[in-house]
């Protein structure tokens, strides 16, 4: 069974750094793209970027380029901020891209709250 | 960048109603169009991919159609468990874009 398990909720202050994770199991992790999706409180889904763990090829949405860093190792993908802002408060989902062009399996989400 | 719009942004309907949601791309022709359902506090779930292909386990009352810039999700007979927010998503030129969502509420 394919599973994506994300790290737990985080409460941070503006200016803090943060790295959240998404661990895949039940399939060969390095052979499927994994994406990250932001959902701000009460808002819609926003694609942030995708990474291919096999070679770390990464593509970012122009809206998130330079704002976050996506990385991966052999079983886990990460989403990282160097300096959080209050506007980064959101639920963040990882999701496995299918062999086609959509996100077939989703993690449970990681809630990030940034507040002074 | 391609922008996606959805209409309506919300609707109220009764159990048994036929519901249609439209998704439009701002330009070009997406490589593929996917529909997701999201319930409060839950991750999105795929309903249809490649415009009209039903994801495994999804009831056949859900259907999709469209081409070019205009796509439609239809629920033939709305069930209580279908009250949720629906998003379209396109993939074009290495980028993914979600529509803003349509919230389906109980009348």
Residue A84 three-state SS = coil
User: Exposed e or buried b for every residue in B5-41, given b needs 16+ CB within 10 A?
Assistant: ebeeeebebeeeeebebbbbbeeeebebbbbbbbeee
**pLDDT level of residue B63 (50, 70, 90 thresholds):** very high
Q: How far is B46 from chain A (nearest CA, A)?
A: 6
User: Contact B43/A50, CB-based, under 8 Å?
Assistant: no
User: Contact A45/B96, CB-based, under 8 Å?
Assistant: no
pLDDT at B2: 83
- The two structure tokens encoding residue B36: 């997701």
User: Contact A45/B50, CB-based, under 8 Å?
Assistant: no
Provide φ and ψ at A30, rounded to 5°. Answer: -80, -5
pLDDT at B92: 85
For residue B37, list its beta bridge partners: B45, B86
Q: Does position A83 have pLDDT exceeding 80, yes or no?
A: yes
Q: How far is A9 from chain B (nearest CA, A)?
A: 14
pLDDT at A99: 87
pLDDT at B27: 77
Q: Tens digit of pLDDT for each residue in A20-63?
A: 999 999 999 999 999 999 999 999 999 999 999 999 999 999 99
Q: How far is B96 from chain A (nearest CA, A)?
A: 6
pLDDT at B4: 94
Query: Which sign, positive or negative, has the C-alpha torsion A2, B100, A7, A49?
Result: positive
pLDDT at A44: 98
């Amino acid at each position: 069974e394919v599973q994506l398990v994300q790290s737990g909720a985080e409460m941070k202050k503006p200016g803090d750094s943060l790295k959240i994770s998404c661990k895949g199991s039940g399939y060969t992790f390095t052979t499927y793209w994994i994406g990250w999706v932001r959902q701000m409180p009460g808002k819609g889904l926003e694609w942030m970027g995708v990474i291919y763990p096999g070679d770390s090829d990464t593509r970012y949405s122009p809206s998130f380029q330079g704002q976050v860093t996506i990385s991966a190792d052999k079983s886990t993908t990460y989403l990282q901020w160097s300096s959080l802002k209050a506007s980064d408060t959101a639920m963040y989902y990882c999701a496995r891209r299918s062999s086609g062009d959509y996100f077939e399996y989703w993690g449970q989400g990681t809630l990030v709250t940034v507040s002074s | 960048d391609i922008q996606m719009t959805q209409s309506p942004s919300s609707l109220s309907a009764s159990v048994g109603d036929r519901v249609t949601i439209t998704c439009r791309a701002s330009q070009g022709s997406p490589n593929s169009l996917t529909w997701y359902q999201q319930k409060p506090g839950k991750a999105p779930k795929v309903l249809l991919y490649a415009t009209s292909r039903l994801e495994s386990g999804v009831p056949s009352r859900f259907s999709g159609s469209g081409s070019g810039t205009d796509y439609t999700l239809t629920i033939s007979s709305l069930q209580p468990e279908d009250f949720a927010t629906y998003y379209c998503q396109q993939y074009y030129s290495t980028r993914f874009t979600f529509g803003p969502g349509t919230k389906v509420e109980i009348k």
